[in-house]
Amino acid sequence: MVIGKKIYFVSDLHLGALALRNNKERELLFVDWLQSIRKEASMIFLMGDYFDFWFEYKKTVPKGFVRSLGVLADICDSGIPVHFFTGNHDIWAFDYLSGEVGMIVHKDSITMELLGKKFFLSHGDDLGKKDFGYQLIKNFFHNSLAQWAFAKIHPDLSFRMAHFWSKKSRLSYKNGDVGVIKIENEEQYLFAKSVEAKEHFDYFVFGHRHLIIDEPLATNSRLIVLGDWIRKFSYGVFDGDNFKIESIGKNKLKEYRITI
């Protein structure tokens, strides 16, 4: 890691979502953003739900995403580590993203030290979650037999099924937000508080909620939730001293014909 450079975090692009009509424009905007930060970046963290759906067959990977994956591969080849966290929409990532693109793939939460600070990093979809139904579904998706069975379905049908399910998610709602939140009721906040009570971390960085949250947990400990690239176009930047959440400017969104 090069001292003096920055670490970038981004989450919830949901590229390829059928519920959204501007997938190509959002991908091009993301590529433009990647190119703009690569000179300053020492590391990049993609914190989950990069794809709206992703499944790698043995000899087949999903159509699309060529521009962004090509730039990510070039960034990896240049020596900048790119960490890819699987989210609840793209948990079926196997060896393509690591072997072909060069990203470091994480299928669970991790802890690591970055520029002298302790980080707890996760997509955040099941942290502290008490929903038994959700846990059952997630365990099913992680089951090797279920993955084997899904791989036997023709991609045209399997992807149609997956995107039909995805259209029923929060992306389908016109508002794209959940209204005013009470931080003390947020599962991610409660989880981070419980962990911090046992072991200190300077930053807990999550995605999943499509919210922007920057909330103190204890002395020198903060919860960061990164927002999304659907309506907020937000990302996190850490320079060793400060962690900031920034957003793409409105002029850039207009350039790519993206409305929020």
> What string of pLDDT tens digits covers the 260 residues of the chain?
555 589 999 999 999 888 788 999 999 999 999 999 999 999 999 999 999 988 888 877 888 899 999 999 999 999 999 999 999 888 788 899 999 999 999 999 999 999 999 999 999 988 866 655 555 556 656 667 766 666 667 776 766 766 666 555 555 444 445 556 889 889 999 999 999 999 999 999 999 999 999 999 999 999 999 999 999 999 999 999 999 999 999 899 999 989 76
Which pLDDT belongs to residue 257? Answer: 87
Please return the burial class of 174, using the count of CB atoms within 10 Å of its CB with bins 0-12, 13-18 and 19+.
exposed
Q: What are phi and psi of 70, to 5 degrees?
A: -65, -45
Domain chopping of the chain, boundaries? 6-255
Q: Where are the beta strands (DSSP E) in the chain?
A: 6-10, 41-46, 82-85, 104-106, 110-114, 117-121, 203-206, 212-218, 221-226, 234-238, 243-247
Instruction: Classify each residue of 206-233 as buried b or exposed e, where b means 16 or more C-beta atoms within 10 Å of its C-beta.
Output: bbbbbbebebebeeebbbbbbbbbbebb
Instruction: Give which of 3, 61, 86, 9 is closest to 243, Cα–Cα.
Output: 9
Which pLDDT belongs to residue 173? Answer: 42
Torsion of CA 13, 47, 172, 246, to 10 degrees: -60
Tokens 């299928």 belong to residue? 107
Torsion of CA 246, 64, 208, 149, to 10 degrees: -170
Which pLDDT belongs to residue 24? Answer: 94
Residue 44 in tokens: 């990049």
Which pLDDT belongs to residue 163? Answer: 62
Check: CB of residue 9 under 8 Å from CB of residue 235.
yes
Residues 6+ apart with CB under 8 A from 157: none
Pairwise CA distance, residues 51 & 157, whole Å = 18
Which pLDDT belongs to residue 241? Answer: 94
Which pLDDT belongs to residue 168? Answer: 56
Bridge partners for 85 per DSSP: 106
Mapped onto helix, strand or coil, the DSSP state of residue 86 is coil
Instruction: Give which of 215, 220, 242, 245 is closest to 233, Cα–Cα.
Output: 245
- This prediction has a pTM of 0.88
Which pLDDT belongs to residue 25? Answer: 95
CATH of domain 6-255: 3.60.21.10
Report, in angstroms and rounded to the nearest whole number, the Rg of the chain calculated over CA atoms: 18
